[in-house]
Amino acid sequence: MPHQTTSPAVEVDWGQSNEKVEEMQANGEIPKDSKRKRVVVVGLGMVGIAFIEKLLKYDVKRREYDVIVIGEEPHLAYNRVGLTSFFQHRHVENLYLNPKEWYESMPEGCLEYHLNTLVTDIDYINKLVKTAQGGIVHYDILVLATGSEALLPRHTPGHTANGVFVYRTIVDLQNLIAFAATKNGTTGVVVGGGLLGLEAAKAMMDLNEFKKVKLIERNRWVLSRQLDGDAGGMVVEQVRNLGLDVLLSKRVERINTDTENNVTGVTFEDEESMECSCICFAVSCGATIQYVATDMV
């Protein structure tokens, strides 16, 4: 498994703390070759990095822990809540919760991070995690911060077609932006009229690639988990005034495709059909725990 960088991490100015640690080491207050516990954190998301920052902050004097964080995504921990701003600035670094230099400024051995690395198995008995690349990492303490993943409606025929997206990661957005650029003048669709769906629809409109963006919602108004019918109806009116085409009480029965598995449209449960080239599902997300129950032997 490639070693990306090493360092400990704290919220305070590390420059000062680093000197402090060195001073303490010189005074013998911190044993240099201590048998520190290794904390392996799976998931370099918002929760994973918040945990690491806190742990290393409180551990700065005693130096009891070394942290290895393993993340599936190709990016350092970023602000997922602010993901939609990526459509404007297109700079991944703008979303980073800590710049790369922060990770690299840490004293050796405290914090090691691995990107593009999926943890696939946990061996609780021998205290090991295994990665998709075949790496095996020992832990004393294991922290799972694997968050959630956007769900596709796998029961819907056509959900694997080219042009079907979800809205969860920087890579999802990069793929959507690149795809939209090849579908200029066509119709883009968002399925799901919740907060995320509305956010995705606005972002797709702002891309200025699609001739029309349509939002499909199975309920009678959008934001149905947050608002009653009156308030939800007002939001529908507002977003329609912004140019978003909102289709209510509509359930997608299947995604229509051509012979090369490209999206060509959707058919609803009432058998009505609609043309489109791109569908972004913002319907649900579920905990990313698929490997947790697996014991590696």
Residues lying near ligand FAD in the complex (CB under 6 A) are found at 42-48, 70-73, 80-81, 83-84, 118-119, 145-148, 167-168, 196, 199, 288, 291
How near is the Cβ of 3 to ligand FAD at its closest, in Å? 16
How near is the Cβ of 48 to ligand FAD at its closest, in Å? 5
Choice between 21 and 83, CB closer to ligand FAD: 83
Choice between 181 and 195, CB closer to ligand FAD: 195
How near is the Cβ of 131 to ligand FAD at its closest, in Å? 8
Choice between 150 and 246, CB closer to ligand FAD: 150
How near is the Cβ of 80 to ligand FAD at its closest, in Å? 3
Contact 216, 191 (CB under 8 A): yes
How near is the Cβ of 239 to ligand FAD at its closest, in Å? 17
Choice between 60 and 69, CB closer to ligand FAD: 69
Choice between 6 and 146, CB closer to ligand FAD: 146
